[in-house]
Amino acid sequence: MAVLVTGGAGYIGSHMVLALVDAGEEVVVLDNLSTGFRWAVHPRAHFYQGDVGDTGLVGNLIRQYGIDSVVHFAGSIIVPESVENPLKYYLNNTAKSRDLIEACVQSSVKHFIFSSTAAVYGMPETSPVTEDMDLKPISPYGTSKLMTEWMLRDTAAAHDLLYVALRYFNVAGADPGGRSGQSTRNATHLIKIACQTALGQREQMGIFGTDYNTPDGTGVRDYIHVTDLIAAHMAALQYLRGGGASLAANCGYGHGFSVREVIDTVEEVSGRPVNAVEEPRRAGDPAALVANSDMLKQHLRWTPRFDDLKQIVRHALAWEEALPEKTR
C-alpha cells in the first residue's frame, strides 16, 4: 500500500517524503507548487502537480496506487495574511480539506494524518498547553485548521476512517543530511529569518514586542526540529496502522526560548552579528506558547532526538548557505 503526501514539495511535507522513502514506503506526492518546489521532492516518489481539492484527481491516485494512508500538509500558513484574506484560508485550508476527506472516504482510505497547529488554542491562559484546553483560535488561519479537525472528528465517527491531528508549535531546522529545508520565499519563521540576517541575506530583522511578562521581555516559543516533527508523523502512521484510535496531539519539546535567546544562539553558532531592531508587539501574539507533549510520547511512543537549540540553528544555517545553489 502507498502513502499520499499532499504538499509534499513544501518545507515539512518534503521531509515527510524523505522519511517515508527512507523507510521503504511507496510515496505519492500531490502539490500545486504554489509555495513548494519540484526539486525538493525525493526522486523515488511519484510526483503529481495538482490541487488537493480536485476530488477526481485524488480519487484516481488513490485507486492507481492503492493508497491506504494520507498525510495532509497542503495549505496556507501565514497568520497575518489570513487576517487580511480570510476567504483564501477558508478555501485552501478548510474547503479543500473537506473535498480531500470526501475523496478519501469514497475510496476507502483508512488512515489520515493532518498537519494542524497550536493556533487552534488562540491565546491560552497557561503554559505548557495541553490538548484538553479550550480551543479558541483568534485568526482565520487557526480557525480554518480547527474546522478541519472537526471535520475529521465527525467523519471518523460516521465512516471507517481513523486520523491523527498533530498540532505543531514552532517548526525549525532542516534535514541533518542537507537534503531539504525551509525554502519558501519571504518565510516568517524566526530562526530562518535570524539565520538569513546573520548571513547577510537580510539587512535586519524585527523583535516584535520587548515588554512581555517573560524573563527578558520577548516572546517565548517552543521550537521543534523538523526531523523530530516528522518522526511524530511516522509514529502516527504506525499507530494508526496498528489500530490506534483517532486523536489530536501537540508537537513540541515542552520548553521554550525567547526571541533574544534565539538571536543570541544564531550569533554564537554563526559567529556573526544579527542586526535586530525592536518593534511594537503584533496583535495576537501570546507572551509564551509551549507544548505539553505527553500525549504524543505516551500514545505514539515518540522520542525526540534533536532537542537542542544550537543543533537546530546549525542545521538551519547550513541549509540557508546551500539554498542559493538549489534555487538557481
Active site residues: 141
Amino acid, res. 31: D
Cα 129 to Cα 18, 42, 43, 256, distances in angstroms:
30, 35, 38, 12
- Here the cell at position 314 is 546549525
* Residues near 84 by beta carbon (within 8 Å), at least 6 away in sequence: none
- Here the cell at position 292 is 505539553
* Cis peptide upstream of residue 128 (ω within 30 degrees of 0): yes
Rg (Cα) of the chain, in Å, rounded? 19
- The answer to whether 2 and 25 have CB atoms below 8 angstroms apart is yes
Amino acid, res. 276: A
Helix, strand, coil shares, percent, the chain, to 5? 40, 20, 40
- Here the cell at position 114 is 493532518
- The answer to whether 33 and 9 have CB atoms below 8 angstroms apart is yes
